[in-house]
Structure formats: C-alpha cells, structure tokens
Structure 1
Amino acid sequence: MRDNYVDSYRLPPEEYVHRRHYIDAVLQGERQRFETRLPTKDGSIRFAEVTYIPHIGEYGDVLGYFTLYQDITERRKAEQALQETNENLEQRVRERTHALSVVNKELRKENTIRALMEDELRQAKSDAEAANFGKTRFLAAASHDLLQPLNAARLFTSALAQQSHSEATNQLVENLDGSLKAAEELITAILDISKLDAGALEPSLTHFSLEGLFQTLDTEFSALAKGKDLRFDTVSCKQVVYSDQALLRRVMQNFLSNAMRYTGSGRVLLGARRVGNQLRLEVWDTGVGIPENKLLEVFEEFKRIDNPKHSQVKGLGLGLAITDRIARMLGHQLNVRSWPSRGTVFSITLPLGDPSKAQKQRPEKRGWIRSKGLNGIKVLVIDNEPKILEGMSALLNGWSCEVVTVLSAAEALHQLQVQQWIPDIVLADYHLGETDTGIMALKELATLDGQDEGAEYFSPAVVITADRTDEVRDEIEAAGAQLLTKPVKPAALRAMINKIIATIRAEKE
C-alpha cells in the first residue's frame, strides 16, 4: 500500500490550515493525534491516523516533532458501514413502528366496531328471546281460547255419535270428528314446538325401567294395529335408562304413530338394543319407506315426502319435528334408516341408568279390572263456558251418568245444597275466570259431606286445562287431582273416570 501513497509533498494550504493548531500544540511539547485523508496516486480514498510526537532537546527545549502515519482505511470503512447499518436499522425501526402504530390503530378501530357489533348482537338476542318468550306466553294464553270451541265441538260430536243415526248421518259425524281431531292435533303440535323452541320445557331426568313404558305403549298401540290389520310386536325390555319419562314416551309415541300411519300391511316392531353403555330404542315397520335423499327432511316442520304412497296418508308433518326437538333437548341421538317399498326403522339412543336409583313402579290396582261401568255415577262439572257444559252433559248422560253442571264453585255449593246431591267425582276446568281456578273450586268443595275431615281439596277430581306448563301440572298434582288436557278426548275421559271409580270401589271392598 505504501507505493500508493504520496511520500513527500508539501501540505496544501487548506490541509495546513486544518493541521495548524496540532502543529502549534506539538511545538509546545504536547503530543497530538488526529485523523486525516491520505493523498493517493490513483485518486482512491484512504484514511490515516496521524501522530505528532515532540522532539525534546537535551535542555528540554522542543527541537521539532516526529510524524507517524497509520493506515486506518479499513477501520473507517467498517465504522461507516456500521453507522450506515445503524442508520438503516433506525429507519427500519421507525418504519416498523409507524406500521405497527397504523395496525394498532386499525385493531383498536376493529375492536371498537366488534364491541359495538357484540352489543348489537346481545341486544338482538335479548330482543329475540323476549319475542320468543312473548310468543310462548301468547300461545299459552291463547291456547285456552283456541281449544275451548274445539273441546265443545268434540264433546258434541262424541255425544252425537253415541246415538242411533242413519248410515249417511253416521258418516257425517265421523267426518266432522276427524276434521276436529286434525285441527286439535295441529294446534297442540304448534304449541309444543313453540314451547320447545323457547326452552319453556325443562326435562326431568330420572333413572327408570323401560318395562312400564313398553307395556303402556304395547297396550296403547295394539288396538290401533288391530284396526289396521297390522301385526304389532313388542320385545320386552327391563333395562334402566336415564332420561325424562314423559318426553321419552312422547318420542316413542311419535315413532309408533308414524309407523302405523305409513304401514299399509305387514308388521310394526318395538324393541331395544344395547350399544356399549347406551341403549337404542327402535321402531321397525314394513311400510312405504323413505328415499335416501329425503331421510333428513322428515324431521322438518310440515314436511311430507313427495311420494304417491305418502300422499294417501293423513298427517300434519309435525310429529317427527317435535321428536327431533325433544331429542336435542335431552341430548339423545336420533337416527333413521329406510328401504323404499320395504320399510323404515326410527331409533333414539340414550344412556343406561343406575338400577339402584330407579323407582319401583306401582302395580295397577285390581279394582280397574273389576270396574262396574259408569251407570249411575254422580258427576259434577264446573266450567265457565256454557257450551262446554252442554257438550259435557250430553256426553256423560250418554254414559248413563247423573250430571250436574255449574259455572262456578259458589253455584255448585248452592245447587248441591238445594238438590241434596253429593257428587262421586268432580270435573273442573282450570280457568274459571280472570282469577278463579278449578283448584280454588276444589278447595271450596272440600267441606261437602263424605270428604275426609280436614281435607284441603275435594277428591276424587279431574282438572281439565289447555295449559300444559309445569306450574299448572304441579299445582293440580298438589291438589291430589288428575290432569286432563284439552281438547278432551272422550275415550281418555271415560277411561280416567272409570279408573278412578274402580279404584274407589276396590278400596271400599
């Protein structure tokens, strides 16, 4: 590198000016150090560290100075590179900081928007829940008014059917009863779906044996199967499961009703199959079947499969929709398999229960078997609707009952006192006015002769209502009365009265 330097040269004037104070200082005996650029032959840039060392004479005077040059070009280049890197890094940090600031600002903006949207969603959810609850309350309140005329109409048609008529008139009565029944099923199903969607039904999960449920279903559907010339078999099952008894029964009733409805000939089978620690309840039929691409549609409201064989069957398309909602509420799994023109199997899978926690079922009293009928049974009917009273009177008289109908408990006490007549059983509507209820009426009638001393409510009694809420059910149960929902099915009413009277007779015997 030495050859590239200019070895001897006079300092240019500007360089001398730059070094003047260093020269003055070294001539005063002070060592000096500084950096400068070196002149080169090829014009390249080189840097040197210059050191001035004073030359001290024998007597301490400064005779001159020595000059040392050290090439520091590489060090300076490294420093410059480092400085540039630092400057670039700082610039990148500034740019990244700015970018992060922009992103943070956008995030804060998005968070604000999200918070506003969440508030709106919460408000919308609250409004929807309030609307749903309001709809449920409206339907529950309106159900009484909706079902009252249907209830009266079915009572009249049932009373009319008990009389002798021509074949044409009998057919008209049968058609009328079928139309009323369809309207009743539609209203009841809509109310049930509304309550399920609104979460108004709370499941009561218990450990129980399926033996009683299967026996009840077998008895209930054997007559229907016989009427359609179908073979109905029930495979006995005593397994204990964990579910809601009433809701599970509703599911199985819908399965069996569906099977009976769509099976023109052949067989319907009710059974159970264990799957690990769960139990699968199944209903098989040999009906028309469902195409594979339509299987999921059967659980939709008012959905009927577009099939000529299906169109010949009457139905509202709500039973399986209700079943689907009940299963989801209970956490049970529904499944359907089908083979067109060969049959279908509907199933529900539920957890096994603990046998040690299962309640033992009470056997039916034998008095039910020894029932002597309703001839001469004294029935007091309390309802604030005159048409209901007329229809109930016509129906009960057709069963050879002695009937007294009144609009209120006060009228009942007056009529019974005047006629010196004590009822064997009371049929009371739950809603008797704005504030009066059938439970209140039973409480007022508890003072009648023949009642146990200290009895709080008249017994035996049946309370009839269109209100299917748990609160009303519990209130009726607490009063020791039986619950019957509207519209009243004459067969169900007769069976209930017959059972109550038969139980009383068995206890007296």
Structure 2
Amino acid sequence: MVFLTLVCMSLGAITIGFVAIFGIQSFRQEFDRMIEADLPQATVATRLNAEVSGLTSLVGLLLTARSEIALSTIRIQTGDQLDAINRQSALLQDFELRSGEYAEIESSLTELVHNLGALTLLSVRRLRAEDAFRALINEALAQAASHENGLTFLLWLQNVEATTRIQEIPRMSRDLEKIAQGIAWMTFGQRILDQRMALLEIETNAQGRLNRHTQMSERLADATRFMSSRLITEANTRSAAIQSLIQRNLYFILACFFTFATVGAFIYHYLDKHVVGPIQDLTRRMNDYGGASRPQVSSTNEITQLETSFAKLTDAIAERENRLVTLNSEATDARRDAEKANRSKSKLLAAASHDLRQPIHAMGLLIGGIARDELSEASRQTVEHLTNLTQETVQLFNSVLDLSKLEAGTFTATLTPMDLGALFSRLENEFQPRSSRSGAVLDIMPPIAGTFVNADEDAVYRILSNLIVNAIDYGNDGHVQVGVCTDANLCTVFVADNGPGLMLEQATATDRAKEDEVASYGLGLSISFALAKAMKTELTFSTPEGDGTRFELPLELATHSSGAGQVKAARHHGFEPLFGLPIVLVEDNPDVNISTRDGLVGLGCTVSTCRTYQEAQQAISTLNKPFVLISDIDLGRGRRANEFIFEIKASTPHLIATVVTTASVGDFPKLWQGDPKVHVMEKPFKLGRLASLLRHLAP
C-alpha cells in the first residue's frame, strides 16, 4: 500500500510540472495584455488630473488680476489649459472604462467650463467696478481737502473703503446722513455707497463661483485620481500575482523530481517503525486481553509520554491560574482597603485642620485683644509669654498638618503671583520679637517694591518661617539674614545665619539618604524641603567658609497681579480704632465668635454676630449703609458658606467686601481668586492682621 502511495505521489508531481510548464505561456500573454491596455489608461488619467490642477491655479490668478491686460493674458492661458484637458478627455473616450466613469468626467468638465466663463465675466466687471469706485474716491478726496469740515468726510471715506460686507452698507449710509447735514455731500456720498455695494456684490458672486470651481475641480480630480489609481493598482496586483505564481511553479517542478522519491521512502520507514509497528503491537495485546485484569504496561512509547506530559502541563496551568485569580482578588481587596484608609485619613486631616484650629484661633484672638497698657508689668510679661507660646503652638500644629498632607499626597501647591515685600513685612512683624527675646539679630532685607513671584504664598511662608525659627533657636544668639537675589527671570530668597551649621553632606548618594539625614534635624526642615518640591522648585543649602548655613529658594518672577487673592502680611500693626464700621460676623464656633466679636468691638466696630447664614441674612436686611461681611467658610455639619457669599455679593449693594476665614486655603473657591471684593485669611491669625485689612477696606 505504501508503495502504491509513493507511485501516486510521483505521478501527481509529474502532472503538476507539465501543467505549470504549459500554463506559463498563457500567464505571460495575459500579463502583456494588461500592460498594453491598463497602463496607457492610467497614464492618460494621471495627465488629465495634472491639467485640471493647473487650471485651478490659473483660476486663482484670474481673480487676483489687477488690470484688464493681465486678465486677458490669464484668459489666453486658461484657454490653452482647457484645450489640453479636452485632448486628454478625448483619449479617455477610446478606452474601456467602468460604467459611468467617462460620463461623470465629461459632465464635470462641461460644468467646469461653464462656471469658468461666468467667473471670467465677473472678473472683468470687478476690474471696471474697482476703477469706477476709485475714481469716485479720488474726486471725493479732492473736494474734501478744500472744505473746512472735510476731515469727518475723509474719515467716513476710509470706513467705506474698509467695508468688506454688504451688510455694513446701511450703517455707512446712516453715518453719511449724520455728517452730511448742511453739507452738499449727500448725493455724492450716496453714489460712492452705491458703487461700493455693486463692487461687493460682484466680489461676493465671484467668490461663490470660485468656491464652486474649487468643488468641481476637486470632484473631477478625485474621479480621475481614483480611476488612475484603480488602473495602476489592478495592473500591479495582477502582475505580481502572475510573477509569484510562475516562480512557485518553477520551484515546485524542480523540487518534485528530486525529493519526492526520497521523502516517500523516509515516510514509509518512519511510519512502519513508529506508527504502524506500535499500533500492531497494541492491537495484538488488546486481542490477547481476556476477562482478567488489564496487564501492566512495562514501557511507554513516545505518544504515551507526550500524552502524560500534556496532562501534567494542563494540571500545572490550572493550578497557576487558580493561584493568580486568588492573588488578584487579594490585591484588589488590599488596594480597596488602602484607598478607603487614604480617604479616611484625608477626611480626618480635613476635620483636624478645621476643628483643631478653632480653639487655637479663639485663644490667639482673646490674647491679642487684651489691652496691655492696663496690665501690670508681671501680667504684661505673662500675656506676652502666652502670645509666644500660642504662636509656637500654631507653627507646630501647621507643621504636623503639612507633613500629614505631604505624606498622604493631598497637598497641592497653587502657584499665583504673590508680593514678596508684603510677605517680608509679615515675617519681620512676627519674628522680630522672638529674635529679640532670644538674643539673636534678625536682619530682614525686603526686596524692591513691586517684586512679585509665581509661588504658593502659604507654602513660601511656611518654608521661610521654619528656616527663621531654626536659625534663631540654634544660631547661638548670632546674626540671621533674610533677603533676595534677582537674576534674569528668577528671584532667589535666602536665609543665612552664622551659627554652628548643619552636619550634612551637600551631595548624598541617594535622595532617600538625604531625606533621612534632613529628618534628623527636626520636623520643620523636612517640611520645608517637601513644600519646595511641591512647588516644582528646590530648596538648597550650603556652608560658607567658617560657620553658618545659607538656604536658598529660587522662585520664578511674575508680573504684578491686581487681584485680591489671599490677604498679604499686614503692614500696619496696632489697634487704632475703626469707629462706626458695621461688621456682620458669621461663625459657628462660639469661642471664635465671641473672641472675634470682642476684638472688633474693642476696635470701635459695630458687630452683628451670627451663627448661621439665615441669621446673617436677617442681620444684613436691616442694614442700610456700607458694611463688611466676615464669614467662616465651614459652618459645621457639612454646611458651606459658598452659596451664601455668592448670593450676598450679587444682591447686596451696600457690601464693601467679604473676608473669608478658613482652616485650609485649599477650600477657597477658584472663582473668587482675583475678585477685589473677596479676601481670604487662614486660621489662626492675629487680630492685628484683621484690623489692618479692615482699615484698608473701610471707606
């Protein structure tokens, strides 16, 4: 049987070889026919497409001609181009095209020629209308130059010349009636307007004809391009297929005669040894098997081993798949738990930022409202000590919250133009007393007035305050300098001292190692580096020759912004009275409400205290003179004052300004940024800062 199979295979190979040999000639004839028929058609279609493109270019020149001589030259060129298009179209008519292809091209050419004729007439009319309009303009200019009131008419003429739309002509006519009263220019001006309208109508019609010509040219070009591409593609495809078939046949013929006999013998030997033999042996054993138990197979062949290997591989894949499904489920649950924990942490931070700041803020306002002049020296010192402790508590609290936000990834720096001079004044007023008590010399050198940088003002204040506190506390009663260096588009703020310096390498092996070393020098320094990174800048330090440390923070210079934004550091401190200034205070915390009210009353203000925005609306409705609204943005239990403040700003004409107090500047709506009537103050703040702002806002 195997021998007969080999014989059949050999005969089949011989038959295929003869078929391939006799088929080569027919394939080549078909190939030559396609080359002689399809490629000339594609060539003519390509030339026709090029001629249409050239005609479109001439049409563009037709509309831009500035004289009738130039127009005549272009018309001659256009006629030559049309003759070339007609010649190529006539050649296409003799070819065998698809149904409707030539009819579509002929129809498009006819419509194109008709539209071109109309466009040529419009171009002639346009040139003549422009000449007539220009003559009227020159005549009007000559008359207006000799008239004492001609300047107004000249300006009107310029507007008429600049008119590009027909819809503007009625407005020009009304303007003419206004300036021509008492002057005999009404009739002459109306002639100019009529001529301008006629010119605009011609230009509008010409533009429409040009658009129509472009559409028809594109349609004709697409039709010829598609036909050319189709013909070339068909020819190339057929040619490649025939050549490939010829090559395969040749290779097949050569291979059949030399390999089939050898392959057949090898197949026969392999099948007899590895397939037929084992099958016969298996058949014999099955025939010998009776009703007894199945005999044990002492050896396995390749097929059995392959089956066993596939079974083991399937079991291993199933086991791995189950393990991956389990691990994926566990990872999903872990990620969900982590996200839930992160949200809980963010909510806790938000609650802490508001709830914990309230008593500290109230304590600071109460201490700040104490009249020092009426106290004894010992009591005055005690109050000052309480003030300092409160300030240090605020700084420590801010540091803890900042670090928590940075670690949780919820801190986002808002880069806006900020006044460095105002910030330096705030730093000097807050830290000069502390440096005096510690025996250090704090030298704050403010920048040039009007120096603004793009930065997060709260973050910059945190960084500089942390650096100043460290320099005062650990500088061994030395000299602390704070200033700026301006270079090109950067303003570098520096804090330098002559203390013992930092025992840190200026370039460590890894960022992680640097963070660990910086963390050993206190919480404030770690937060300062992290805040600088959040603002996309870098806080660097160096140790000059000798003792001391110099920190530098480069910031991008910005132009002055007139928006209100956040409240800058108060330039004026003290408690000069604000007699009679009406204040509507909205604060849900009783301690903060009372302490703020007492401080404002001590300044001479008339204060209406409210716990809810309903009470505030009732209090505002009774006021009939300018007032200032001071409101906490968080009124407790999820109530926000945003909509209330928007409503008051829109419906109350007597509102001077709104001061929004918040525990987190991030809660400040972006819509209020740049609003001169909205100011934000971050808690806790001193009464002096609020008083300075009110003096600035008071009418």
**Structure 1 residue 483 displacement after superposition:** 1.0
2:369 counterpart of 1:166: no
**Structure 1 residue 393 displacement after superposition:** 1.8
**Structure 1 residue 481 displacement after superposition:** 1.9
d(CA) in 1 for partners of 2:380 and 2:457? 39
d(CA) in 2 for partners of 1:225 and 1:148? 23
Matches within 5 A, 1:323-472: 323-338=528-543, 342-348=547-553, 358-362=558-562, 374-376=577-579, 377-415=581-619, 422=625, 424-434=627-637, 436-443=639-646, 445=648, 450-451=653-654, 458-470=655-667, 472=669
Q: 2:526 aligns with which of 314, 321, 326?
A: 321
Contiguous gaps of at least 5 residues in structure 1:
1-94, 306-316, 452-457
d(CA) in 1 for partners of 2:600 and 2:590? 15
Q: What SS class does the counterpart of residue 412 from structure 2 fall into?
A: coil
Cα deviation code 1:273-319 (max 9, x no counterpart)? 769x98765332223322237999996699564xxxxxxxxxxx433
Matches within 5 A, 1:90-489: 120-121=330-331, 123-162=333-372, 164-205=374-415, 213-223=419-429, 226-227=432-433, 228=435, 229-233=441-445, 247-248=459-460, 250-263=462-475, 264-272=477-485, 281-292=493-504, 305=521, 317-338=522-543, 342-348=547-553, 358-362=558-562, 374-376=577-579, 377-415=581-619, 422=625, 424-434=627-637, 436-443=639-646, 445=648, 450-451=653-654, 458-470=655-667, 472=669, 474=671, 480-489=677-686
**Structure 1 residue 462 displacement after superposition:** 0.6
Q: What SS class does the counterpart of residue 336 from structure 1 fall into?
A: strand
TM-score normalised per structure 2: 0.45
Q: Is the 8 A contact 1:416 1:422 kept in 2?
A: no
- Identify if the C-alpha distance between structure 1 residues 270 and 162 changes in structure 2 by more than 3 Å, giving closer, same or farther: same
Letter in 1 for 2:421: Q
Q: What SS class does the counterpart of residue 342 from structure 1 fall into?
A: coil
d(CA) in 1 for partners of 2:621 and 2:599? 25
**Structure 1 residue 337 displacement after superposition:** 2.6
- Identify if the C-alpha distance between structure 1 residues 363 and 380 changes in structure 2 by more than 3 Å, giving closer, same or farther: closer
d(CA) in 2 for partners of 1:203 and 1:115? 40
Higher helix share: 2
**Structure 1 residue 415 displacement after superposition:** 4.6
- Identify if the C-alpha distance between structure 1 residues 203 and 139 changes in structure 2 by more than 3 Å, giving closer, same or farther: closer
Bigger mean CA offset, 387-396 vs 183-192: 183-192
Bigger mean CA offset, 387-396 vs 420-429: 420-429
Contiguous gaps of at least 5 residues in structure 2:
1-304, 436-440, 565-570
Q: Is the 8 A contact 1:409 1:445 kept in 2?
A: no
Q: Is the 8 A contact 1:155 1:392 kept in 2?
A: yes
Q: What SS class does the counterpart of residue 437 from structure 1 fall into?
A: coil
2:674 counterpart of 1:492: no
Q: Is the 8 A contact 1:291 1:338 kept in 2?
A: no
CA RMSD in angstroms, aligned pairs only: 4.9
TM-score normalised per structure 1: 0.59
- Identify if the C-alpha distance between structure 1 residues 328 and 125 changes in structure 2 by more than 3 Å, giving closer, same or farther: farther
Q: Is the 8 A contact 1:272 1:279 kept in 2?
A: yes
Cα deviation code 1:450-495 (max 9, x no counterpart)? 53xxxxxx44111112243245465687794211122232222122
d(CA) in 2 for partners of 1:432 and 1:156? 21
Letter in 2 for 1:345: R
**Structure 1 residue 391 displacement after superposition:** 0.8
Letter in 2 for 1:442: I
Q: What SS class does the counterpart of residue 292 from structure 1 fall into?
A: coil
User: Share of identical aligned residues, percent?
Assistant: 23
d(CA) in 1 for partners of 2:670 and 2:410? 14
Q: Is the 8 A contact 2:575 2:603 kept in 1?
A: no
Matches within 5 A, 1:65-76: none
Q: Is the 8 A contact 2:658 2:678 kept in 1?
A: yes
Q: Is the 8 A contact 1:439 1:476 kept in 2?
A: no
